[in-house]
Chains A and B, each alone.
Chain A
Amino acid sequence: MTYRLVVNGEPAEVGVPGMRRLLDVLREDLGLTGTKEGCGEGECGACTVLVDGEVVVSCLVPVCQVDGSVVRTVEGLAVAGGSALAPLQAAFLEAGGAQCGICTPGMLMAADAFLAAGAEPTDDAIRGAIAGNLCRCTGYTKIVDAIRLAAERRQAGAGAA
């Protein structure tokens, strides 16, 4: 079967079995290896991407269910044609929100959805937004700091504009 999706703003067409995991379609068929596989069972959140703006674990979504959908992955975050880090990514660097990095693409996508929702960046709200993303390295505090920093800058930017 042929499935059509829009990935990071670009139309993509893949001829693959419908039960292929979106994770495999992204990594193997489209060569977008930024999305990581941790557990393959929905538990760790490393494979988190956005489908039509909502966070999902791409290891549990078959491609037949995203035919016609808009998918956003970590490769879609960078700005200026991919040459500059998004403010969210810069905040992770600045706050030390990544160590080994395996959880980072999924954390960034969960954080991206949180920023887009425009909720008040309290500790509770941020921790709730990344509750489905496991990190073995950072102890989460610096990830929460990074997301708060990005959210505050975004609010300040919106206020100034």
Chain B
Amino acid sequence: MHVEPPVGSPRSLEEAYGLLASAPHRPLAGGTDMLVQLTGELGPAPERVLDLWRLDELRGIRVEGGALEVGALTTHAQIRRSEACAAHAPTLVAAVATIGAAQIQNRGTIGGNVMNASPAGDTLPVLLALDAVLVAGGPRGERSIPAVGFWPAYRSTALAPDELLLRVRIPIVDGRRQAFRKVGTRRAQAISKVVLAAAWRRDPAWRDVRIAFGSVAATPIRATAAEAALEGAPPTAASIDRAVAALLAELRPIDDVRSTAAYRLEVSGRILRRLLEDAS
């Protein structure tokens, strides 16, 4: 049976905060995760739903104060069409292009991907690699939370139940390069077995290296040992070997329905090696 909890559809953020303060509500963006959860098969349905779809103030992409800002309700299709995203966050465009097919990309939002907090969420490693900041709002005002601390445990986020995600801020860094790799079972509509996002500068040594993985742990993670192995090192085969060895020592992937730990470890090492070779 499909569950149909009561739903409020506020027309302004103020009204939304008011509803959240009056009683617990589960926010609803594009519904591509939530409606699947409402089949009644995946645990209890929310008691009340807060439909954010009319809150145009949460939509849109702009460059402001040295950062690319993407509103939480911006759809994957809008990110794919955005010139500002292509210029400053090509890895974000690459990631959302792999999320479902057109039907999902026309409704699914970046805020939903972030707040769903799946370890397989494809934009999450990108936000980690690009040092993104997540801006939340609620009755106590706005606050900014770095992506690194945003997903503390399996399927949880740093937000309080009465807060909403408002937008994602990605700092624009001169000379930063970035890359994205996703391994799934097929091209359209496949959830990741392993996903990798990386960012770096070269002078010609490796600088400001960020390596982030999804689907290999309970949360999206930064591979800090691999990053440290590269930082300041020359772009040689030896430094790549050291980074891959550090990665294999630090990753602890799991077996699940989509893949095995052994496969994930092997593939993680290979896609990082290829990415670094391409970048050298």
Contacts and interface: CB of A to CB of B under 8 A. Distances in A.
Interface stretch (B87-95, B102-110, B151-159): B102-110
A24 B38 CA distance: 14
A120 B236 CA distance: 44
A85 interface: no
Choose among B32, B35, B102 the residue with the greatest number of A CB atoms under 10 Å from its CB.
Answer: B102
A124 to B, nearest CB: 11
A67 B9 CA distance: 11
Interface residues on A, range: 20 to 34
Contacts of B17: none
Contacts of B77: 54
B3 to A, nearest CB: 8
A59 B35 contact: yes
Given A42-B103, A45-B103, A64-B7, A132 B189 contact: yes
B106 A62 contact: no
A26 interface: no
A42 B36 contact: yes
A40 B39 CA distance: 8
Contacts of B31: 60-62, 65
Contacts of A113: 102
Interface stretch (A4-12, A13-21, A89-97, A147-155): A13-21
A30 to B, nearest CB: 17
A88 interface: no
B141 interface: no
A48 interface: yes
A21 B102 contact: no
B5 interface: yes
Interface in B29-87: 30-32, 35-36, 38-39, 49, 51, 53, 77
A159 to B, nearest CB: 27
Contact of B4 (A20, A43, A48): A20
A29 interface: no
A57 B5 contact: no
Interface in A105-161: 110, 113, 129, 131-133
Given A18-B9, A41-B36, A42-B32, A61 B51 contact: no
Contact of B7 (A45, A62, A129, A133): A62
A45 B51 contact: no
B252 interface: no
A133 B35 CA distance: 18
Contacts of B104: 42, 57, 132
Given A45-B101, A62-B28, A65-B51, A131 B187 contact: yes
Nearest to A39: B36
B100 A42 contact: yes
Contact of A21 (B2, B103, B188): B2
Contacts of B28: 62
A131 to B, nearest CB: 4
A71 interface: no
A55 interface: yes
B204 interface: no
Given A55-B106, A62-B31, A62-B35, A132 B51 contact: no
Contact of B103 (A18, A40, A57, A62): A57
Interface of B: 2-7, 9, 28, 30-32, 35-36, 38-39, 49, 51, 53, 77, 100-104, 106-107, 187-189
- Pick the 7 closest A-B CB pairs, nearest first: A132-B101, A131-B188, A18-B7, A17-B4, A60-B35, A131-B101, A19-B4
